[in-house]
Amino acid sequence: MKVLLFPFIGIAALGLFLSLLVHLSALFGQPIPWANRVWGLHVGIFVVWIPTVIVANVLTSDVDRRNWWRSALRGCPEWYRYFMYGLFGYALINFAIFILRTMGAPRTGGLSEEVNLIGFSGHWMVFYAAALGVLWSFARAEAQSVPRCPNGHSVGADSKFCKECGCPIQSDGTQLPSDLTRP
């Protein structure tokens, strides 16, 4: 299964790099590489997001929703998780600035391509980075053992107790001392 993911990981990494290049070029008023072909980055998102959604469902099947991203990115280095969170925050700010810039634009003339590319490329970066992180995480996490309680039930990566039998779980998947009871 991992072998099938590597082309998608490569496409996500390339898409992240190209969207970053387009974003920086548009932001600093430089010529946009590849002119109108950059809009193909829209299509690339769908190419990588179909396997990303499938893989994310596997990675997060036994996890609380509040820990969804932590679990989906559990095979990534810690710096990449912080990069993702920072990039998401930047994309929100970029989107707010994009909206403010469009509010004053005339309805008939439309926006300049530079302004459109600044807005869209901020989103492209987030989608490609998230796809890269989730796919990369799955490729690494699949080699790791599935956490299980002492009774053999599979537990989520962030579980403190087994959902089936209530057995306390340590972060490494082993049973806690028997004097601890379930709250």
Helices (DSSP H) in 63-173: which residue ranges?
68-72, 78-103, 113-141
Per-residue pLDDT, 177: 45
- Measured distance CA(24)–CA(19) in Å, rounded: 9
Residue 133's nearest CA partner among 71, 64, 72, 86 is 72
SS3 state at 160: coil
Q: Which of 57-61, 63-67, 95-99, 111-115 has the highest mean pLDDT?
A: 95-99
Q: What are the two backbone dihedrals, phi and then psi, of residue 161, each rounded to the nearest 5 degrees? A: -140, 150
Distance between CA 69 and CA 75 in Å, rounded? 11
d(CA 181, CA 158): 18
Compute the average pLDDT of residues 85-105.
Answer: 88
- pLDDT digit string, tens, across residues 16-39: 999 999 999 888 888 887 777 888
pTM, whole model, 2 decimals? 0.75
How many whole angstroms separate alpha carbon 81 and alpha carbon 144? Answer: 18
